[in-house]
Amino acid sequence: MIVGVDWSQQLFRLGRRSVDMAMEASVVGSFTKIGYNVRSRMYDWDALPDMTGRTVVITGATSGLGRAAADELGAFGAELILVGRDKRRTQTAARSIAKKHGGSVQVVIADLGELDSVREASVELAQLSRIDALIHNAGALTNTYEVTSDGFERTFATHVLGPFAMTRELLPIIQRTGDGRVITMTSGGMYAERLDVKNVMMGRDDYDGLRAYARAKRAQVALNEEWALREPSAAVFHAVHPGWADTPGVQESLPRFNRVMGPLLRDSYQGADTMVWLAAAEEPLRSSGVLWLDRHPRHKNKVPWTITGPEQSAELWDFVEHLTSPSQP
Give the pLDDT confidence of 283-309 residue by residue, as tens digits. 999 999 999 999 999 999 988 889 999
Q: For residues 174 and 7, give the distance between their C-alpha atoms in angstroms, rounded to a whole number.
A: 43
Position 254 pLDDT exceeds 90:
no
Q: Is the pTM of this model over 0.85?
A: yes
- The whole-number pLDDT of residue 306 equals 92
- The whole-number pLDDT of residue 17 equals 85
- Neighbouring residues of 77: CB distance < 8 A, sequence distance ≥ 6: 50, 51, 52, 53, 54, 101, 103
Q: For residues 256 and 243, give the distance between their C-alpha atoms in angstroms, rounded to a whole number.
A: 17
- The string of pLDDT tens digits covering residues 39-48 is 999 998 989 9
- Neighbouring residues of 209: CB distance < 8 A, sequence distance ≥ 6: 141, 142, 143, 144, 155, 253
∠ CA(217), CA(218), CA(223), 5° rounding? Answer: 95
Q: Are 291 and 240 spatial neighbours (Cβ–Cβ below 8 Å)?
A: yes
pLDDT classification of 140: cutoffs 50, 70, 90: confident
32 or 328: whose pLDDT is higher? 32
Smallest CA-to-CA distance from 274 within 21, 72, 41, 16 is with 72
In this structure, which CATH number among 3.40.50.2300, 3.40.630.30, 3.40.50.720, 3.30.460.80 belongs to the domain 51-323? 3.40.50.720
- The whole-number pLDDT of residue 2 equals 54
Average pLDDT over residues 259-265: 89
pLDDT classification of 281: cutoffs 50, 70, 90: very high
Question: What is the DSSP-derived secondary structure letter of residue 59?
Answer: E
pLDDT classification of 19: cutoffs 50, 70, 90: confident
Grouping H, G, I as helix, E, B as strand and the rest as coil, residue 314 is helix
Catalytic pick among 36, 43, 191, 213:
213
- The whole-number pLDDT of residue 235 equals 98
pLDDT classification of 111: cutoffs 50, 70, 90: very high
Average predicted confidence (pLDDT) for the chain: 93
DSSP one-letter string for 87-136:
HHHHHHHHHHHHHHH-S-EEEEE--TT-HHHHHHHHHHHTTSS--SEEEE
Position 198 pLDDT exceeds 90:
yes
Q: Are 108 and 81 spatial neighbours (Cβ–Cβ below 8 Å)?
A: yes
Q: For residues 293 and 30, give the distance between their C-alpha atoms in angstroms, rounded to a whole number.
A: 9
Q: Are 222 and 313 spatial neighbours (Cβ–Cβ below 8 Å)?
A: yes
Average pLDDT over residues 80-92: 97
Position 279 pLDDT exceeds 60:
yes
Q: Are 113 and 154 spatial neighbours (Cβ–Cβ below 8 Å)?
A: yes
Establish how many alpha carbons lie within 13 A of residue 235's alpha carbon, considering only the half-sphere containing its beta carbon. 28
Give catalytic status of residue 213 as yes or no: yes
- The string of pLDDT tens digits covering residues 141-197 is 888 999 999 999 999 999 999 999 999 999 999 999 999 999 999 999 999 999 999
- The whole-number pLDDT of residue 296 equals 96
pLDDT classification of 253: cutoffs 50, 70, 90: confident
- Neighbouring residues of 21: CB distance < 8 A, sequence distance ≥ 6: none
- The whole-number pLDDT of residue 184 equals 98
Grouping H, G, I as helix, E, B as strand and the rest as coil, residue 40 is helix
Question: What is the DSSP-derived secondary structure letter of residue 254?
Answer: -
Position 61 pLDDT exceeds 70:
yes
Position 329 pLDDT exceeds 90:
no
Establish how many alpha carbons lie within 13 A of residue 325's alpha carbon, considering only the half-sphere containing its beta carbon. 9
Domain boundary assignment for the chain: 7-44, 51-323
